[in-house]
Amino acid sequence: MSIHLTPIRWWMFIFLAVVITACGTRSESWPGISASDDNTAIFAAYKRTVVSLNPDQTRNWAYNGENDTSFYATPTFIDGIVYVGDFKGRIHAIDAESGERLWMYEPERTQFLFFELGRNDRIIGQVTIGEDTLFAGDEYGVFALDMSETPPNTLWEFETKHAVWSRPLYISQTSVENELCPNVRTDWDIDWNIDPTLFVVSLDQHIYALDPDSGDLRWSLDLDGGIAGNLTLDCLRQRIYVGTMNQQVLAIDIKQQKVIDRFETEGWVWGGPVIYETGDPDDPYRIYFSDLAGYVYEVSLTEDGFGERAFKRRLSNEPLRATPLIVETLDGESVLVVGSEDQRVYAINLTPSPSGVADNREDLRWVREIDGRALANLTWVDHQTEEGEIERLIITGTDSDNQMVVALRLEDGGRVEWAYKYEND
Amino acid sequence: MSIIIDAFSTFMIILYGALGESVVLAIVVFTVLVRLALMPLTLRSQRSMKRMQELSPKLRELQEKYKDDRQRLAQEQMNLYKEQGINPFAGCLPVLVQLPIIFSMWRVIIATLASTPQQLLDLQNRLLVGGLDHLVPMKNTFLWLNLSLPDPYFILPILVVITSYVQQKLVMPVTPKSTKPRKAGEPPDPSEQAQQITRQMTTFMPLMVGFFALNYASGLSIYFIVSNIFGIVQYVAMGKADWRRLIGRETPKPETAPAEGLALAADASLEEQVVAQASAAVAAPKKAQRELRHGISVVTLKPEPATSKSKASASHDRATKSQKSTSKPKVATDKSKKR
């Protein structure tokens, strides 16, 4: 077979070759998954759509963004409203009941012929809400919106040297007591005694402590590695833990404003660490994190930083990107669940044996294969079956349109209860 | 191609670290180094096309002689190539070898700037050497630019179009449109087609790269600009720059066939050479193309004449061989007489 290449065909060939080479074929992200406070509704943002699903897979609503953008960020649910940023820098506020848009914030742009001039503020991280203010990271840094007005106006902008993909952490006495540390035992008598502060980590390898009212910098630290994952607050010790691309998890003391300890990992740490309360008075807190080399770690926490490593286990040869989820079964057993790029979800038992020694925690509870790469965040919901029984479901998302959202039964070997297909209405 | 992208990405990050964590410097040095590394292939391609250029008067003669018999023309052109030990497609091969590298560079710049979560996730798999993690992701701000985004003020796209245009104008010959009217039903003159492509390239290529510069990361624009400037400097260093071409004029030269355009195009950027080779392919009659493709291994193995004296003797030998090998000895004899 011969193909006669006329000039126009050659031009088309070269043009297409370049476009195809440049674009690639894979989706550029994965779904952002979250749940309502009472774990009865699931919110998922992917491509052009945000959906609200019930634990039985029925869809409450679907919200479509503008034609020219897509959602990379995880939705935030607060007080009946779902907030989510998009790849064009817009913030959408959606009524969690009806799915109607309440308002949309859009950065200023100027139209010039066919082009838009101005910032192209890609929002990839989850937004944070704190006392009438919305904080969001974007391609240029972080900005705050004054939500006392509708639609909200920009309160301030703080520029970093690289994008902010992680969720800003807003700390005030109110947020600590009501949202961040509601389960801290009262006998520990935590007195934060700090001014409200917004903590932001960036791909520029820094952590910034900002005044949430003005955006003024209070202090910053060079962390020696880019950060794409979220910050984790240690309510007891007033520390922040964060994983970096320099294969480390850092413990940062808020009061001392310095890194007090570093834990070396085998690969980049993208997802945030997660703290687990053991119930043991001598060893009350342990921290878990995973890395892109496929390892999961359990480390004890001490006054000086990280203590003894309890275990380090390679679950996969592919990245474990998301923050691990620690969830209790209905029988009160603690399970750590983590998703991998190898299209599997892994569940590990954390509950100590009756003797109090955690000798079974390295045991895999189950491994479940799913359709796409399990790179999305994990959450859980309770689902009432037709027989009236309650079952706990692990919810995650994949980059496969067939399983944009997938629900796995925690207590039944991770069996897929249902999968929600991506639909662009 | 993945292994090339991985290796280049690793090299790019190493350069970035070695050059004080400056992305722009890393892109500039990386582009220049890769272009230098590809120089032997580029020069080989140029040499091949120059030999085609030397043949152009004879090709024109054949075109005139057999203008009414295209099949015969194709046969005679093929014979001529064989006699001269030239494969008109040999110039394509070095360019084709370079293509994956050119496209890889494109991909590497986008991959290492990692402007989306997926690109960043991919990047961690691409690093072939340990100890580079503290350099990732590269700082992407430079002056007013976020290098992972298009230039919001169009300054880089404009520079891309200008440098691309200047390079095109310097290396492409001024090719006047044919004044000879074409009869109805008459197939287009292959040489005219080649000229048409050359003209299109001068206007279309800068616009095409400008389009990409408008829509892709501005780090890519820096690559285009550096690559274009490298091409211009290379051309100037070889003493071939004729700045009058910028205003559409050219130093008077002996009349040549369209193959000269191809030879000049060989001095152009790698991307442009691909297009130039395309025009060669379009210009050559289809039958000749087919036959020549089959004859590649034969013709490329022949040694090249070293001196003018040996050239003459080699030419004589080839003519003799040609007489033996051709199925139509009379034609070959005629040609020998003409020579």
pLDDT, one tens digit per residue, over A152-172 is: 999 999 999 999 999 999 998
- Decide if B146 touches A, using CB distance below 8 A: yes
pLDDT > 90 in chain A, percent:
65
Q: Residue B179 falls within a domain, yes or no?
A: yes
Chain A environment of B151 (Cβ under 8 Å): none
Please report the pLDDT score of residue B148 as a whole number: 82
- Nearest-Cα residue of chain B relative to residue A88: B149
Size of interface A-B (CB pairs under 8 A): 111
pLDDT tens digits for range B85-140: 777 666 666 667 667 777 787 788 888 888 889 999 999 889 999 889 999 899 88
CA distance A316 to chain B (A): 14
Closest approach of chain B CAs to the CA of A146, in angstroms?
Answer: 27
For the residues B196-204, what does the mean pLDDT come to? 69
In this predicted model, what pLDDT tens digit does every residue of B232-278 receive, in sequence order? Answer: 888 788 777 777 767 666 555 544 444 444 444 444 555 555 555 54
Whether chain A has a CB inside 8 Å of the CB on B64: the answer is no
Residue B27 is assigned to a structural domain of this protein = yes
- Please, how many CA atoms are within 13 Å of residue B189, restricted to the half-sphere of its CB? 19
What is the domain count for chain B?
1
Q: With beta carbons under 8 A apart, name residues in chain B contacting A110.
A: none
Average of per-residue pLDDT across B35-50: 77
Nearest chain B residue (CA) to A70? B116
Output B82-86 pairs: Cβ under 8 A, ≥24 positions apart: B82/B295, B82/B298, B82/B299, B82/B322, B82/B325, B83/B315, B83/B318, B83/B319, B83/B322, B84/B51, B84/B55, B84/B318, B85/B299, B85/B300, B85/B302, B85/B303, B85/B304, B85/B318, B86/B48, B86/B51, B86/B52, B86/B55, B86/B299
Of A115, A140, A268, the CB nearest to B124: A268
B275 touches chain A (CB under 8 A): yes
CB-CB under 8 Å, A120 with B121: no
Report the residue of A21, A71, A161 to disrupt the B interface, i.e. the one with the largest count of B CBs within 10 Å. Answer: A21
Chain B interface test: which of A120, A245, A266, A320 (most B C-beta within 10 Å):
A245
How high is the pLDDT of residue A328? 92
Query: Where residue A115 falls among pLDDT bands split at 50, 70, 90?
Result: low
Q: Is residue B335 part of a domain?
A: no
CB contact under 8 A, B137 and A10: no
Amino acid B60: pLDDT: 81
Residue pair A374/A343 in contact (Cβ under 8 Å)? The answer is yes
B141 CB neighbours in chain A (<8 A) are: 161-162
Domain-located, residue B319: no
The verdict on a CB contact (< 8 Å) between B216 and A22 is: yes
pLDDT(B230) > 80: yes
* Nearest CA distance, A2 vs chain B (angstrom): 9
Interface test with A, best of B116, B205, B216, B271 (most A CBs within 10 A): B116
Residue B181 falls inside a structural domain? yes
- B96 CB-near residues (< 8 Å, 6+ apart): none
Predicted pLDDT at B58: 82
> How far is A83 from A73, CA to CA, in rounded Å?
10
Residue B336 lies in a domain: no
Domain boundaries, position B247:
2-296
Please provide the size of chain B in residues. 339
In angstroms, the Cα distances linking B238 to A209, A290, B234, B242, B267 are 57, 56, 6, 11, 9
Does the beta-carbon distance from B117 to A14 stay under 8 Å? no
Query: Which residues of chain A make contact with B278, given a CB cutoff of 8 A?
Result: 5, 7, 10, 14
Contact A245 B124 (CB under 8 A): yes
Query: Could you tell me which residue, A89 or A358, shows the higher pLDDT?
Result: A89
Cβ of A319 within 8 Å of Cβ of B118? The answer is no
CA gap B136, B9 in Å, rounded: 11
Sequential DSSP letters for B231-274: HHHHHHHTT---GGGGGT---------THHHHHHHTTS-HHHHH
Q: Do A375 and B120 touch (CB under 8 A)?
A: no
Nearest residue on chain A to B192, judged by CA atoms? A7
Give pLDDT tens digits for B301-330.
Answer: 334 444 444 444 444 444 444 444 443 434
Candidate from A27, A161, A224 with C-beta closest to B134: A224
User: Over chain B, what is the mean pLDDT?
Assistant: 71
A10–B275 C-beta distance less than 8 A: yes
Q: How far is B312 from chain A (nearest CA, A)?
A: 37
State the smallest CA–CA distance between residue B126 and chain A in angstroms.
13
Q: Is the pLDDT of residue A363 over 90?
A: no
Pull the structure tokens for residue B60: 């024109």
Judging contacts by C-beta atoms under 8 Å, the chain B residues touching residue A204 are 139
Q: Among A396, A420, A410, A421, which Cα is nearest to A74's? A: A396
Q: What percent of chain A has pLDDT over 70?
A: 86
Cβ neighbours of A14 in B, within 8 Å: 271, 274-275, 278
**What is the pLDDT, as a whole number, of residue A311?**
83
Nearest residue in B to A320, CA atom: B121
pLDDT digits (tens, 9 = 90+) for A279-316: 777 777 899 999 999 999 999 999 899 998 878 889 99
For domain A323-425, the CATH architecture is Beta Barrel (2.40)
Test A72 with B200 for CB contact under 8 angstroms.
Answer: no
Most confident of A302-311, B142-151, B156-165, B238-247: B156-165
Q: What percent of chain B has pLDDT over 90?
A: 16
Contacts of B107 in chain A (CB under 8 A): 21-22, 24
Q: Which of A18, A224, A398 to mutate to test the interface with B (most CBs of B within 10 A)?
A: A18
- DSSP-assigned states of every residue in A313-367: EE--SS---SPPEEEE-TTS-EEEEEE-TTSEEEEEE-PPPTTS--TTTTSEEEE
Q: How far apart are CA A15 and CA B211, in angstroms?
A: 11
Segment holding A368, helix H or strand E: strand A364-369
Find which of B134, B141, B145, B207 to mutate to test the A interface (most A CBs within 10 Å of its CB): B134
Identify all chain A residues contacting B139, using CB atoms and an 8 Å cutoff: 161-162, 204
Nearest CA in chain B to A72: B117
**pLDDT tops 50 at residue A108:** yes
- Beta carbons of B134 and A268 less than 8 Å apart: no
More confident of the two residues B10 and B289: B10
Q: Is residue B114 part of a domain?
A: yes
pLDDT at residue B213, as a whole number: 84
Task: Tell me what pLDDT residue B67 has.
Answer: 79
Contacts of A164 in chain B (CB under 8 A): none
> Taking residues A316-324, what's their average pLDDT?
95
Beta carbons of A14 and B275 less than 8 Å apart: yes
CB A368 within 8 A of CB A345: yes
Q: Is the pLDDT of residue B44 over 60?
A: yes
Q: Is the pLDDT of residue A384 over 80?
A: yes
Cα–Cα distance for residue pair B92/B108, rounded to 1 Å:
24
What pLDDT is attached to residue A336? 94
Is residue B333 one of the residues assigned to a domain? Answer: no
Contacts of A118 in chain B (CB under 8 A): 152
Say how many C-beta atoms besides its own lie within 10 A of residue B136's C-beta: 24
Lowest mean pLDDT among A12-16, A238-242, B148-152, B294-298: B294-298
Q: How many Cβ atoms from other residues are within 10 Å of residue B249's Cβ? A: 11
ipTM of the complex: 0.88
The pLDDT, as a whole number, for residue B185 is 57
Given this model, what pLDDT does residue A93 score? Answer: 97
Contact assignment for B152 to A120 by CB distance below 8 Å: yes
The shortest CB-CB distance from A161 to any of B119, B136, B139 is to: B139
- Chain B hits for A17, CB-CB cut-off 8 Å, are 103
Distance of residue B142 Cα from the nearest chain A Cα, in angstroms: 10
**CB B253 within 8 Å of CB B187:** no
A267 neighbourhood in chain B, CB within 8 Å: 124
Choose, out of A88, A112, A162, A291, the residue to mutate when testing the contact with B (most B CBs < 10 Å).
A162
